[in-house]
Chains A and B, each alone.
Chain A
Amino acid sequence: MADSPVPNLGEFEHVVLLAVLRLDDEAYAVPIADEIARCTGRAVSRGSIYITLDRLETKGYLRSRLADPTPERGGRAKRYYTLRPRAVEALKESRRALVALWRGLEGKLA
């Protein structure tokens, strides 16, 4: 399935990838959750954020790195996430598909 042209992305995985993309260099779990809540207006559980990030990394859509520890976090490091090229491809592809589907529909839903 990984090689298929249509990316095997769940809706929530999609949302998380977009949030990571929006946050650029600041993408770790806490702001990702905030960003999703801000943009979608729905609260998300911590659990699903972590599990989804973990899965997306396993599937090869995300890369993560540990930054230096900071004192406000009790001396614990942040794990920052960035998109791998195939995630970018997958987002582009799904955007293209959605835009194509949306074309001409604006009037109908107005």
Chain B
Amino acid sequence: MRFLRLLPSDLRESIEGDLVEEYARVRARRGVLRARVWFWWNAVRLAALFQWERGVHGRPLPPIADEAPQRITFVEGLRQDLGYGLRMLRRQPGFTIVAVLALTLGIGANTAIFSIVDAVLWRPLPYPDSERIVFIGEQRPKEGRLNGPVAPADYLDWRAMSTSFSAMASATDFALNLTGGVDPQRVRALAVSPAFFDALGVSPARGRPFAAAEEDPGRSHVAILTDGLWRGAFGARPDIVGSRVVLNAESYDVVGVLPASFWWPTRPQILVPRAFEPDERTQRAVHMFPVVARLARGVTPAQARADMDAIGRQIAERHPDTNRAHFPHIASMREIVVGETGQSLLALLGAVVLVLLIACANVSTLLVARATARRKEIAIRLTLGAARGRLIRQLLTESVLLAAIGGGCGMLLAVGIVSATSRLLPARLLMLPGLDRIAIDLRVLVAATVATAGASVLFGLVPAFTASADRTASALSEGGRSGGAGAGTRRARSVLVIVEVALSLVLLVGAALLMVSFHQLTRVSPGFQAEHVVTMRVTLPLARYREHSRVVGFYDALVERLQGVPGMESAGAVTMLPFSGADQHANFIIENRTAESPFPVRSRPMSVTPEYLQTLRIPLVRGRYLTPRDADGAPEVVIINDAAARRYWPGEDPVGRRITFDFGRPRWLEIVGVVGDVKHRGLDADAEPEMYLSSLQTMVVGSVRAMDVVIRTSRPLAAVAPIMRAAVSELDRDQAVGPVRPMEDLVDESVAPARLNLWLLVAFALLALVLTAEGLYGVMAFLVTQRSQEIGIRMALGASPSRVLRLVLRQAATMMFAGVALGLAGAFGLSRFLASQLFGVSPTEPAIYVAVCIVIALVALIAIAVPASRAARVNPLTALRS
């Protein structure tokens, strides 16, 4: 009769009376035994029914069998299911919030990252037949460089000799001062061979491309504007073609405007022809620019490679001095532009897919728990005659509803991430292709949503219906002696948690590796003291600064003026500032060195004012620094860095030796000092041989018209910047300057992509950890509830709370160890994909794996602390009675 106590109090007496009355009738007809069964069966059914109707459900049930449910229309049924599903989600806000959050983050992050990867790595570059566009650089196998800049004479030979390309062009980035009728400004410029437009398959929207003859120095004063500059600086003047602009104080004819869709990695604003001076046409020792080319129709990359290899060998035979150690190297344009960023992007994509998997597993564990809790509801409804198909449809609707809400929120998140991308990306990554064309990939959104919905259906529906299979009264009285959830359900949850632990361990290992790597990277000294140094780029126009003495005079006066300002410690200037991206190499000859050197004899020559090295505090290893006396007329001198000394004078003292960059008529430069190495190309790059020449001596390598001025000062940037600009304009009113920037920013920018990568992976890993902890908590809390009767019996029979605690912990530990073992294997296998992004740490560093395991164990301990202590506090009496 205990069940009857579950009836609503107002109806209990009459229903009990009815049952007793009918019991007598049934007994008379069919005997005592049948009547008893009849009585209990109805008592249980009615108790359950009213529990549901009044107590749990709180409102009338959806149509029951007698009300002819099969007759309702599909749409009406769907409406009911949706309404019911929404009510269920509202009734358990904790479950709903956690599940929707997991789905949102999983789906949103996946959609966003996939969309970005798709735009950057997979969609064709914005040129016709873009897969036929290649970059040709110089490979130097002995130095481990694959795609170095090319010397002008080599480029001209390649162009004349090769048959594999329909167009080949050089492209040099530089900056120009734009004046004359517009606000004076510095613009990003690209000097290109006339064939540049054929190579890319791009033609101007207005006007014409450069003519072949405009490659000659006398006829090269023509310019093509990009759409952005035409609109920004010239107000989209329709008569722009045919007008004149002033660039670096020289007049140029505008011959064309590029379409708005034009894209080039360095985002130039104006294009001018690359003219070759007569002496440049034979220059093989100075390597200046990348070469872009279009494969001719019917030529495969392999054929082009063979063609260029043969040409490279011919040139090396003819010019062994300069060309013996390097050969042409062909790579697709995307390979060059995307470079190592592609690897980081794919690693991020992998990470975010893992997060999605964890989110799936997490939502699934939640659903398994819920499905088990709902066995009672489902059993009641089946008992009352609800159609199975109808119930399945309703549960499906709930799962899909959850996935749809998650998908919708995920879509919003993805849109947010994508729109923030271009603003958050460090400057160094802005050259990636496709950033302006990132579109939310609906296929991914749908795929991710369907995947999560599929997982939740699989894990949510199956247990619900293994439960519904037994339509017995015991299914109604949940928590019977059998232990509630079937073994299958429990195993499903355990497997899900193990998978979650394993996946988040993989992510944590990845994040930890990047973190250690980044820490190592930032600990690397750039080779100078960047603190309190401010830089500014100045480009003097050839028109007004043709003579070397004028150029030297300008920088001399500028440095002197700046040094005179209070608070300025010292000032200098350099042609290629470290971390600025400027990079050129030149071959040189060592005096009296006839033996074949194992290395190509080349270095990065920079012209510096005498104070430059001291201003950056690049330490002197031996010999002396440059002085103002190292000017024209005095013996020509050079300072080399430690890397050059080690490579070219191993075991010797280079001070006093002589070298020359001039292959025709040697002008010998005497090495007077050796300074410490500077990480010119970034903290993670090896130091390369470098040479510092005095800017006061007539230059033999490149030009000194464009220099970066550096100042060491105790005053803040805001105070220094106007002083620096004023100093320039006092010397030359028409001279534009580049932005004034702290040297620290330049160093910092070089690690910005690594930092972004790190933060994203750390964020994903933390997300994974939280989801996993939550999953673990859910499973343990569920198991403790399931076993509370068993625990109660154990305690009643004398088990101590600590024994019970051990029992629960053992169960959690088993799952943990399985997950950790699986995760360690996975992390070990996957970490090599991160290897290319790591610096100063091995992808299999044992300490990191151990640390991550400890972190996971601690988090797991916290997650299971509450359910475990609940188990230890189970009151045997309550547990047994329930």
| Segment with Cβ contacts to B, from A17-25, A41-49, A92-100 | A41-49
* Structural contact, A66 and B13, CB atoms closer than 8 A: yes
**A-B contacts, CB under 8 A, total:** 77
Which chain A residues numbered 21 to 55 have a C-beta less than 8 Å away from chain B?
28-30, 44-48, 50-52, 54-55
The answer to whether the Cβ of A76 comes within 8 Å of any Cβ in the partner chain is yes
With A10-B63, A72-B21: A54-B11 Cβ-Cβ less than 8 Å: yes
Which chain B residues numbered 58 to 84 have a C-beta less than 8 Å away from chain A?
60-61, 63-68
Give chain B nearest CB distance to A108 CB in angstroms: 22
Give chain B nearest CB distance to A47 CB in angstroms: 5
Q: 1/0 contact trace for B1-39 toward A, CB 8 Å?
A: 000000000010111111011101000000000000000
Q: Chain A residues near B18 (CB, 8 Å)? A: 28-30, 46, 73, 78
Q: Chain B residues near A11 (CB, 8 Å)? A: 67-68
Give chain B nearest CB distance to A51 CB in angstroms: 6
How far apart sit A10 and B60, CA to CA, in the bound complex (Å)? 13
Q: Chain B residues near A55 (CB, 8 Å)? A: 60
* Structural contact, B16 and A51, CB atoms closer than 8 A: no
* Structural contact, A76 and B13, CB atoms closer than 8 A: yes
Give chain B nearest CB distance to A84 CB in angstroms: 18
The answer to whether the Cβ of B316 comes within 8 Å of any Cβ in the partner chain is no
Q: Which of B17, B22, B385 contacts A78 (CB 8 A)?
A: B17
* Structural contact, B53 and A79, CB atoms closer than 8 A: no
CB-CB nearest in chain A for B41: A46
* Structural contact, A45 and B66, CB atoms closer than 8 A: yes
How far apart sit A28 and B22, CA to CA, in the bound complex (Å)? 12
* Structural contact, A73 and B45, CB atoms closer than 8 A: no
* Structural contact, A76 and B16, CB atoms closer than 8 A: yes
Q: Which of A48, A76, A77 contacts B66 (CB 8 A)?
A: A48
With A55-B60, A73-B20: A47-B384 Cβ-Cβ less than 8 Å: yes
* Structural contact, A76 and B14, CB atoms closer than 8 A: yes
Give chain A nearest CB distance to B382 CB in angstroms: 13
The interface residues of chain B, by DSSP majority, are classed as: helix
How far apart sit A66 and B15, CA to CA, in the bound complex (Å)? 11
* Structural contact, A77 and B11, CB atoms closer than 8 A: no
Give chain A nearest CB distance to B16 CB in angstroms: 5
Give chain A nearest CB distance to B70 CB in angstroms: 12
Give chain A nearest CB distance to B65 CB in angstroms: 8
* Structural contact, B14 and A48, CB atoms closer than 8 A: no
Q: Which of B17, B61, B385 contacts A74 (CB 8 A)?
A: B17
Q: Which of B17, B46, B63 contacts A47 (CB 8 A)?
A: B46
CB-CB nearest in chain A for B68: A11
How far apart sit A78 and B64, CA to CA, in the bound complex (Å)? 25
Q: 1/0 contact trace for A54-67 toward B, CB 8 Å?
A: 11000000000010
How far apart sit A48 and B380, CA to CA, in the bound complex (Å)? 13
Give chain A nearest CB distance to B107 CB in angstroms: 39
* Structural contact, A50 and B49, CB atoms closer than 8 A: yes
* Structural contact, A51 and B17, CB atoms closer than 8 A: no
* Structural contact, A48 and B17, CB atoms closer than 8 A: no
The answer to whether the Cβ of B282 comes within 8 Å of any Cβ in the partner chain is no
Q: Which of B21, B22, B384 contacts A48 (CB 8 A)?
A: B384
Q: Chain A residues near B13 (CB, 8 Å)? A: 66, 76-77, 79
* Structural contact, B22 and A44, CB atoms closer than 8 A: no
How far apart sit A18 and B118, CA to CA, in the bound complex (Å)? 68
CB-CB nearest in chain B for A42: B66
CB-CB nearest in chain B for A58: B60
* Structural contact, B46 and A74, CB atoms closer than 8 A: no
* Structural contact, B66 and A12, CB atoms closer than 8 A: yes
Most buried by B among A66, A72, A76, A78: A76
* Structural contact, A73 and B17, CB atoms closer than 8 A: yes
With A30-B18, A30-B22, A73-B17: A51-B45 Cβ-Cβ less than 8 Å: no
